[in-house]
């Protein structure tokens, strides 16, 4: 049973998407359209990948990173880095785009890198999480590290200097 707990956020997100689509008939209100336009304008100024499309149901649909995003995330670190430690991670919010790790190992958002047991690594944004809450990693980062989404791997975490 505990092996399937990391899937709970995905199941809940998919359920919520289905409910919204069912309730709205798949159409957005004028206010939502305006909000979508504002979000699109902010997205154009932000280096983060776009949010998943409404009705996304598969890992491929939720992962909106591009080949260029993935290539940049796998580049070797350009400067020094500090090893922060090892954490067991679970899949985070699948609707949040980009490469990130929420972890109690940092107290402020910073750039960093995670390394899987097999040696694969990815540059991520390290975001603080409360002590005792565990660490959660983005869907695109798990896919880039080739970690099955239901696994609870131990990753080594590094902060960029």
Q: How buried is 132 (Cβ within 10 angstroms: 0-12 exposed, 13-18 middle, 19+ buried)?
A: exposed
Position 17 scores a pLDDT of: 44
What Cα–Cα distance (Å) separates residue 53 from each residue in 69, 98, 109, 124, 125?
18, 14, 26, 22, 22
101 three-class SS: strand
**In terms of Cα–Cα distance, which of 8, 161, 7, 141 is closest to 87?**
141
Per-residue confidence band for 111, with pLDDT thresholds at 50, 70 and 90: very high
135 three-class SS: strand
Which tens digits make up the pLDDT trace of 124-138? 999 999 888 899 999
Per-residue confidence band for 37, with pLDDT thresholds at 50, 70 and 90: very low
Position 114 scores a pLDDT of: 98
Query: Mean pLDDT across the chain, nearest whole number?
Result: 79
- Is pLDDT of 12 > 80? no
The CATH-assigned architecture of domain 1-161 is Beta Barrel (2.40)
Calpha distance 36→8 (Å, rounded): 27
Global pTM?
A: 0.68
**In terms of Cα–Cα distance, which of 82, 84, 99, 83 is closest to 136?**
99
Position 54 scores a pLDDT of: 86
* Half-sphere exposure at residue 102, Cβ-oriented, CA atoms within 13 angstroms: 15
Higher pLDDT, 135 or 161: 135
């Amino acid at each position: 049973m505990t092996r399937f707990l990391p899937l709970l956020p995905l199941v809940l997100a998919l359920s919520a998407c289905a409910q919204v689509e069912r309730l709205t008939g798949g159409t957005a209100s004028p206010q939502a359209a305006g909000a979508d336009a504002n979000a699109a304008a902010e997205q154009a100024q932000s280096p983060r990948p776009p949010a998943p499309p409404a009705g996304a149901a598969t890992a491929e649909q939720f992962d909106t990173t591009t080949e260029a995003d993935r290539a940049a995330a796998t580049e070797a670190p350009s400067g020094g880095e500090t090893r922060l430690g090892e954490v067991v991670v679970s899949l985070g919010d699948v609707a949040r785009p980009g490469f990130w790790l929420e972890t109690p190992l940092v107290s402020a958002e910073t750039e960093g890198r995670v390394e899987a047991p097999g040696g694969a690594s990815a540059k991520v944004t390290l975001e603080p999480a409360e002590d005792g809450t565990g660490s959660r990693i983005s869907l695109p980062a798990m896919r880039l590290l080739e970690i099955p989404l239901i696994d609870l791997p131990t990753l080594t975490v590094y902060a960029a200097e």
